[in-house]
Chains A and B, each alone.
Chain A
Amino acid sequence: SQTIHQWPATLVQPVGSPLSLECTVEGTSNPNLYWYRQAAGRGLQLLFYSVGIGQISSEVPQNLSASRPQDRQFILSSKKLLLSDSGFYLCAWSVKVLGPQYFGPGTRLLVL
């Protein structure tokens, strides 16, 4: 069966520091991968998605970036965090672009 992992689970970082969040999927090949941000436990905002290694599409302009160095690894990064980057970051995968998405456990980021 397929599983999706995210780490770290929780992160507290000072403003201006770098960020690296990692997501990995097991049990499937060539998944579509997604990064979402959820603010205040409510609606989800799609940040990035990837349909293959090295292929990244950005949905919103921001100081975040994403990379997919391996088939089942998706990384969310920032060179300098802002206070507004605080939130709950969720990684998801799907088999098809228009298919159901399956979410990881999330990373809670607090920027102080």
Chain B
Amino acid sequence: GEDVEQSLFLSVREGDSSVINCTYTDSSSTYLYWYKQEPGAGLQLLTYIFSNMDMKQDQRLTVLLNKKDKHLSLRIADTQTGDSAIYFCAEFEDTGKLIFGQGTTLQVKP
């Protein structure tokens, strides 16, 4: 089956930029997603990128897509303590099932 991999943990200082990385295996994916999960809560859709795009920017969020290497990244500029959460990347496999990575815990130190 398809696989989505992420590093498990990232720690940054408040005000720095955070970069969360993800690799995927299904080259036929049309959209790739980033979700945010705060403690005890459901997943919040942060942003998504269409597979024919290389970059998408939305306020403090920048998504970069390298289709050749099947690599997706989420950059958060000026990281705040409120950005502390688990971040999941996700892609659709060819059966139409949304496959999630294991999530990256972002810790923001004041």
Contacts and interface: CB of A to CB of B under 8 A. Distances in A.
A59 B98 CA distance: 12
Given A90-B43, A97-B96, A106-B42, A43 B101 contact: yes
A46 B98 CA distance: 8
B45 A98 contact: no
Contacts of B98: 46, 101
Contact of A42 (B41, B43, B103): B103
Interface residues of B, number: 22
Contacts of B33: 100
B42 A103 contact: yes
Q: How large is the interface on A (under 10, 10 to 19, 20 to 34, 35 or more residues)?
A: 20 to 34
Interface string B92-110: 1000111011110000000
Interface of B: 30-31, 33, 35, 37, 40-45, 48, 86, 88, 92, 96-98, 100-103
14 contacts: A42-B103, A43-B102, A44-B43, A44-B88, A44-B100, A46-B97, A46-B98, A90-B43, A92-B43, A100-B31, A103-B42, A103-B44, A106-B40, A106-B42
